[in-house]
Structure 1
Amino acid sequence: MTLLEYIDPSFLDYQEWITVGMALKEEGYTASDWEQWSRRDGQRYHPGECFKKWTTFEGNGITGATITQMAKDHGWETRSNGEDRELGWDDEITDDDYVIVDKNWVEGQEISEPTTWNPVRELTTYLETLFDSSDNVGYVVETWENEDGKHLPKKGNWDRTAGELIQALNKSNGDMGSVLGDYNPEVGAWIRFNPLDGNGVKNDNVSDFKYALVESDEMDLEKQNAIMRELELPIAALVYSGKRSIHAIVKIEAADYSDYRKRVDYLYDVCKKNGLKIDNQNRNPSRLSRMPGVERNGKKQFLIDTDIGKGSWEEWHEWIEAINDDLPDPESLTDFWDDMPDKAPPLIEGMLRQGHKMLMAGPSKAGKSFALIELSIAIAEGRRWLGWNCTKGKVLYVNLELDRPSALHRFKDVYNALDWEPSNLSNIDIWNLRGKSVPMDKLAPKLIRRAAKKDYIAVIIDPIYKVLTGDENSADQMAHFTNQFDKVCTELGSSVIYCHHHSKGVQGGKKSMDRSSGSGVFARDPDALIDLIELEMTDDLLKQQENAAATSIYSKAIEQANYDYFDEHVGIDDQQSVSQMNSHAKKSLPAGTLEKVEAEINQAVKSVRVRSAWRVEGTLREYPKFDAINMWFRYPVHQIDDTGILKDIQPENEQPAWKKNFSKKKSSAEKKKEQNESLEMAYESCTIDGAVTLDSLSEFMGVTPKTVRNRIKNHGGFWITDGEVGRKPDK
């Protein structure tokens, strides 16, 4: 079954999935083995389907060699031991996980029959140990004979409780037959170890999934007994079957059937790795086990022991995991004091080392995805990202949210907006998984397998909510989630970079590591936390920015068109005044040039209105804290504010709702003007790519398509048909 770890059922078509089932049956595996593997395909897996198909697989000639080849196709490599040799299907491939007992060195532990035979006490002790008095108990004393002359158990009884049976047995004067019915002493009797609902004996009739049966009849009884005890299985009752095996009734304490199956799979896996060849047919929770207190062909079926090993499933499970934690041994500092290991080289200088983790957190509209694309490009080209130098190398961008064409276009748009030559496109790989994403604990091994030989120095996952497992407010569940990033870092030697959203509410008054949504594990786990928070732009500041953009365009145009006039008449003070520069432009520029300049100024002013301002803060584990960085986000890229105009703006802090609303209140006319200007700017920007769509405007403006549709209606100057938007002709 180890080979199947290399074959992901979610990547197989229907016929390939059927082929795996046929090969497993041909090699002597069970339908349960096939179903357990098939459950890894969460989207197509249907409970019970494997068992239905299994009965139709007969003599197809498909062997384990087919699975071996599939495993090779998906990354499994042959091993060598002195010489190159391909492992056969029957070869045992094991690792040391959960191996506690070396069966070759186990000393057998003898089993002794009771010195005083008291059948009623044997059975009542069993019932008192396993059942509550109100639990219905299933048992069988009658048999039927098949064609081979073998006696098999009938369905038996299930309509009496443990309390009723114990009371009747205690009054029977040792005559168990008067309570249960007479059994055939040549074949013995059976009992079901889980309580029933009183309506039948199928798995559906199990009312409480308390126990599982562990049985192995392919080794000495004494060794079976010793291994079960050394494994410290949480055994409620240990029963001698009267023949070749011991029946261990193990505490499972499962919440439901699904949980029961998972725990039994885990239990059987541990037992098999420690030398017990388990009978897989005993997995069912309604399975019959040997009843203590009866005889079988001259031998007694009796209780060997009760309540041994660990006290509960949870205690045993934690013990097994602790023994096999794969943690390194402690090291003495004296061994390395004079020969310290080299630190990992930087990926982002002054921020993040290779093989470490980074989280980018921020609210919606911050352009986090664009920032990560900018980072991907900066690493690929060995350029600067938000002012930090990046090491040049290969990067894998895991796209979980965008459809494939949109993702590819974004990379090209960002390259163009940065005005960088795409000299190292081969350094960027994009793994498009929209609609195919799986939880991170399932994605991590798939990612590692695909990236193992690619030499990526960074893996960027965007966004993580698509692969989030568990409750993001649960510290232990989020610790398990973030541990998957450690696995990727360790196996690939690359950095893992991902983004997460802010919690609801105003963030300005919080520390950077307290702004991320969910458990504090998110912020405290990565080696570098980069946090984005929006800076609120006042009308005065916006007006100042508009004036600066306009005067700059006027100055550049006049200087290029008529340098002598610019040098003689345009003073430094004039260059700070829009009205003065407009007057100079009218005097010095031809009419056609003036019209172009004014159109360029209108575009620049609109651009100022739609861009947003942001502050970058961070918490670093490997480097000193950096000074906050102020930047603009103008679709589709971020640009550092090198003018210092954003330096003194404070992020919005917590204050009463009435005060915030009062300070921000605008007239209806101001709101409509601002919305119209934003729509016009967005339309002009989106026409760069050709036809303008409702979706492209929505993405550019950071609002929903419904909001864009309402603003188009209120504007009056645009039409919209089948999702395409156009400007109405001037009347």
Structure 2
Amino acid sequence: MEHKLDLVALLEYIDPAFLSYQEWVNVGMALKYEGYTASDWDGWSRRDPARYHPGECFKKWTSFEGTANPVTGATITQMAKDNGWMPRSADREDRELGWDDEISGGDYVVVDRNWIEGKEIHEPATWNPVQQLTTYLSALFESTENVGYVTETWQNEEGKYLPTKGAWDRTAGELIQRLNECDGDIGSVFGDYNPEAGAWIRFNPLDGCGVKNENVTEFRYALVESDEMDIEKQNAIMRELELPIAVMVYSGGKSLHAIVRVEASNYDEYRKRVDYLYNVCKKNGINVDTQNRNPSRLSRMPGVERNGKKQFIVDTNIGKASWAEWHEWIEGINDDLPDPESLTDFWDNMPVLAPALIEGVLRQGHKMLMAGPSKAGKSFALIELCIAIGEGVKWLGWQCTQGKVLYVNLELDRASCLHRFRDVYTALGLPPQNISNIDIWNLRGKSVPMDKLAPKLIRRAAKKNYIAVIIDPIYKVLTGDENSADQMAHFTNQFDKIATELGASVIYCHHHSKGAQGGKKSMDRASGSGVFARDPDALIDLVELDVTEALLKQEENKAICAMYKRLFEQHNPAYLQEHVSQDDELSAKAMEDHAKRAIPHIMADIMPTIQQVIKSVKARSAWRVEGTLREYAKFEPVNMWFQYPIHRVDDVGSLKDIEPEGEAPAWKKATNKRKESAQKERRSKAEEFEAAVFNCKMGEAPTKKDVAEYMGVSEKTVARYMKEHGGFTYDANNNYTIIEKEDQEE
């Protein structure tokens, strides 16, 4: 299934300041091709104040007319990948958490920012810029590692000072040595800076060839910085979180810059650890500026002044000593798992089991998956289930508990869905006495991924007291690759959320994989990962039965007999009781003969009805319901007919011996094939014999000798054909003339 990426979100990974002019134009062309607006391009372009000119994006936007080889969203996707973005499908199963991931171990809340007291910061009693910079460089770098820094700035049209790319070709050891020799003049080492703007430094070592992410040699640190709360509270929360901070610097403005140890082995691991770090910070009230994700990011340089305020080191070596120690601590402090229980404490006082929703199949608050191929009428079956729960009646033979149910319609337009409910009610013959128990949430064209839909659903359903929520179908809200166990486990966890929060059963629908399903176990038929079959508490699987022509003929006979019986009951019930036997009620021919005698005045109108009955029977399909249950014993397969718009259980056993496609053993398939071949051959011989009888004497009655000569066989063989194929006999004088049996009877 195709999922359209949010290209604006991917632009977070692309810094326009590092793009060439053509690359910048390509981003704009890709956005226009994919249906975004000029404002999206303009908003992103503002991140490069050195080259940004108001109105330029809008002017160029109108010139993008399209070409035979357009620039598409794939260009932006590749740029984002080059800068660290990874699609979910590429993540490892043991990956760290991303921004949109569910944190399954808890909320990672360590501090309550509403109650925590701020912790003040203090300027150094003695201002020593050389000491500040020497301490910073010694804390973060090896002496041989290259350091990137910026002292030169420029002003944009709003008067804001912004950094240039700066320098990156000197090592930490060289800088420390020159600082010790500069006699307090740090400008002679780093270059003079503008005291209104301050200066910047990069916190990860570089290769001496540039300042992009690809130039970072060690992914050692990440920047945590936010300007949305008081400095004192920032300081207090970072310390309460035990962040493994190597150096904390006051920016001279609204924020602290915490250089946090992440100690990643490569860029991919760095990105995941930073996402995890930022997520924990966000949960605890620090809304980190996500543009600081990049390992080559600039941070504020200590030992300089900025607009009358000093940029200085607040502290070093705060919190845990390493990423591993902090990660273990943050996971442990949020462990809200229950303690182990002793069986002896509950042996004589077992907790009460959840009551049944579908007797013998599913308990209330549990999950059920219905799987089946197209044409099985899965949506109709789920609508039937809604009605069964709402009215408190049986569904496919199983009694349902009565209660309120929510049907989440993701596929049908609103009018079609509402009509379906009424059509099914009518076909079931149920009066709509409790339709107030059924709510329908029509989301066609408005559906969102399941992890986004779940909280919206929970919020709307919280006070409705539903005992069941039915989601049809799930492919509309599927997130990730359905063949990935990792991603499908995350997807199905959303159903657990709904069931837990609402105390309601969650029932959802999925499709079969391709190919014949008869030879598979019911739990292996659903498309995609095995998680689909193993996650729910009940799996109801529909597989089509291979109905024979003979069985359809029997069903036509039954349907016609039932039609005649209804006509007798309506127009001449006394005749039905006195003259029609039980055997007659099973024969369409007998019922027709009785009808000609008992209700001749309506016979002229019966034929169209019979044709409609036959057409209806031919339109039927037959299905077998199998199941895999967690809470109940396995049930015997249920056979049923699907005759639009409802399913009817085969109570009389007509489908008992019918097998699904592909289920018969090899020897039986071969036998059936031989039988079919023999029947075809017999039909062919009969047709050949019949043609010879009528054609050998140009339509006149031939003798056995005439037919034998015409067919090139013996008269004995002709006699055998007459016996095997029927329909012909000797004439009344027992001579060699062959005539049709029907003619003889007349």
TM-score by length of 1: 0.63
How far apart in 2 are the matches of 1:480 and 1:192? 37
8 Å CA contact 1:232, 1:310 repeated in 2: no
> CA distance change for structure 1 residues 587 and 43 in 2, over 3 Å: closer, same or farther?
farther
1:524 shift after superposition: 1.4
1:332 shift after superposition: 3.1
Q: Is structure 2 residue 527 aligned with structure 1 residue 517?
A: yes
8 Å CA contact 1:352, 1:358 repeated in 2: yes
> CA distance change for structure 1 residues 433 and 165 in 2, over 3 Å: closer, same or farther?
same
Alignment partner of 1:304 out of 313, 316, 322: 316
1:1-400 matched pairs, under 5 angstroms: 97-100=107-110, 123=137, 126-128=140-142, 138-142=148-152, 155-158=163-166, 160-161=168-169, 165=171, 169=175, 180-183=189-192, 189-193=199-203, 212-214=222-224, 224=235, 228=238, 231-233=241-243, 235=245, 237-239=246-248, 247-251=258-262, 265-270=278-283, 272=285, 283=292, 285=294, 288-291=298-301, 304-305=316-317, 309-311=321-323, 320-321=330-331, 323-400=333-410
Match of 2:517 in 1: 507
> CA distance change for structure 1 residues 473 and 453 in 2, over 3 Å: closer, same or farther?
same
The alignment partner of 1:473 has SS state of coil
8 Å CA contact 2:225, 2:257 repeated in 1: yes
Match of 2:32 in 1: none
1:580 shift after superposition: 4.6
How far apart in 1 are the matches of 2:661 and 2:225? 66
Larger radius of gyration: 2
Alignment partner of 2:502 out of 488, 492, 496: 492
Superposed CA offset, 1:630-684 (max 9, x none): 111100011111110101111122699xx899799999xx9xxxxxxxxxxxxxx
8 Å CA contact 1:482, 1:525 repeated in 2: yes
> CA distance change for structure 1 residues 141 and 372 in 2, over 3 Å: closer, same or farther?
same
How far apart in 2 are the matches of 1:546 and 1:418? 20
| Amino acid corresponding to residue 304 of structure 1 in structure 2 | T
How far apart in 2 are the matches of 1:242 and 1:396? 53
Match of 1:673 in 2: none
The alignment partner of 1:458 has SS state of strand
Alignment partner of 1:616 out of 625, 636, 645: 625
The alignment partner of 2:507 has SS state of strand
Q: Is structure 2 residue 540 aligned with structure 1 residue 530?
A: yes
Q: Is structure 2 residue 478 aligned with structure 1 residue 478?
A: no
Match of 2:731 in 1: none
8 Å CA contact 1:380, 1:392 repeated in 2: yes
| Amino acid corresponding to residue 126 of structure 1 in structure 2 | L
> CA distance change for structure 1 residues 309 and 499 in 2, over 3 Å: closer, same or farther?
farther
Match of 1:649 in 2: 658
1:380 shift after superposition: 1.0
How far apart in 2 are the matches of 1:43 and 1:649? 55
1:423 shift after superposition: 0.7
8 Å CA contact 1:554, 1:597 repeated in 2: no
8 Å CA contact 1:553, 1:597 repeated in 2: no
> CA distance change for structure 1 residues 587 and 282 in 2, over 3 Å: closer, same or farther?
closer
8 Å CA contact 2:407, 2:440 repeated in 1: yes
Superposed CA offset, 1:234-281 (max 9, x none): 55x425559896732453977699989965752432453xxxx77869
Q: Is structure 2 residue 449 aligned with structure 1 residue 461?
A: no
8 Å CA contact 1:172, 1:178 repeated in 2: no
> CA distance change for structure 1 residues 624 and 521 in 2, over 3 Å: closer, same or farther?
same
How far apart in 2 are the matches of 1:376 and 1:391? 11
Match of 2:556 in 1: 546
1:405 shift after superposition: 0.6
> CA distance change for structure 1 residues 185 and 471 in 2, over 3 Å: closer, same or farther?
closer
> CA distance change for structure 1 residues 472 and 245 in 2, over 3 Å: closer, same or farther?
closer
How far apart in 1 are the matches of 2:110 and 2:210? 39
> CA distance change for structure 1 residues 325 and 484 in 2, over 3 Å: closer, same or farther?
farther
How far apart in 2 are the matches of 1:491 and 1:247? 38
How far apart in 1 are the matches of 2:134 and 2:637? 80
How far apart in 1 are the matches of 2:205 and 2:39? 27
How far apart in 2 are the matches of 1:424 and 1:489? 24
Match of 1:426 in 2: 436
> CA distance change for structure 1 residues 605 and 264 in 2, over 3 Å: closer, same or farther?
same
Residues 402-411 or 302-311, more deviating: 302-311
> CA distance change for structure 1 residues 380 and 220 in 2, over 3 Å: closer, same or farther?
closer
> CA distance change for structure 1 residues 430 and 325 in 2, over 3 Å: closer, same or farther?
farther
Superposed CA offset, 1:84-135 (max 9, x none): xxxxxxxxxxxx9423368979999999999x97967963763449x986xx
Match of 2:422 in 1: 412
Which blocks of at least 5 consecutive residues in structure 1 are unaligned?
A: 1-41, 54-95, 671-731
1:341 shift after superposition: 2.3
| Amino acid corresponding to residue 354 of structure 1 in structure 2 | Q
How far apart in 2 are the matches of 1:281 and 1:496? 36
TM-score by length of 2: 0.62
8 Å CA contact 2:118, 2:232 repeated in 1: no
8 Å CA contact 1:631, 1:641 repeated in 2: yes
| RMSD over aligned Cα atoms | 5.2
The alignment partner of 1:339 has SS state of coil
> CA distance change for structure 1 residues 204 and 636 in 2, over 3 Å: closer, same or farther?
farther
Which blocks of at least 5 consecutive residues in structure 2 are unaligned?
A: 1-34, 47-105, 684-746
Q: Is structure 2 residue 460 aligned with structure 1 residue 446?
A: no
1:282 shift after superposition: 8.3
Match of 1:689 in 2: none
> CA distance change for structure 1 residues 565 and 227 in 2, over 3 Å: closer, same or farther?
closer
8 Å CA contact 2:370, 2:539 repeated in 1: yes
Residues 354-363 or 594-603, more deviating: 594-603
> CA distance change for structure 1 residues 98 and 422 in 2, over 3 Å: closer, same or farther?
same
Alignment partner of 1:625 out of 623, 634, 645: 634
8 Å CA contact 1:123, 1:292 repeated in 2: no
How far apart in 1 are the matches of 2:560 and 2:346? 62
| Amino acid corresponding to residue 311 of structure 1 in structure 2 | W
8 Å CA contact 2:405, 2:439 repeated in 1: yes
8 Å CA contact 2:243, 2:318 repeated in 1: no
How far apart in 1 are the matches of 2:341 and 2:501? 22
1:290 shift after superposition: 3.9
Match of 1:688 in 2: none
> CA distance change for structure 1 residues 565 and 190 in 2, over 3 Å: closer, same or farther?
closer
Superposed CA offset, 1:561-590 (max 9, x none): 667876787665555444454445445541
| Amino acid corresponding to residue 386 of structure 2 in structure 1 | S
> CA distance change for structure 1 residues 528 and 44 in 2, over 3 Å: closer, same or farther?
farther
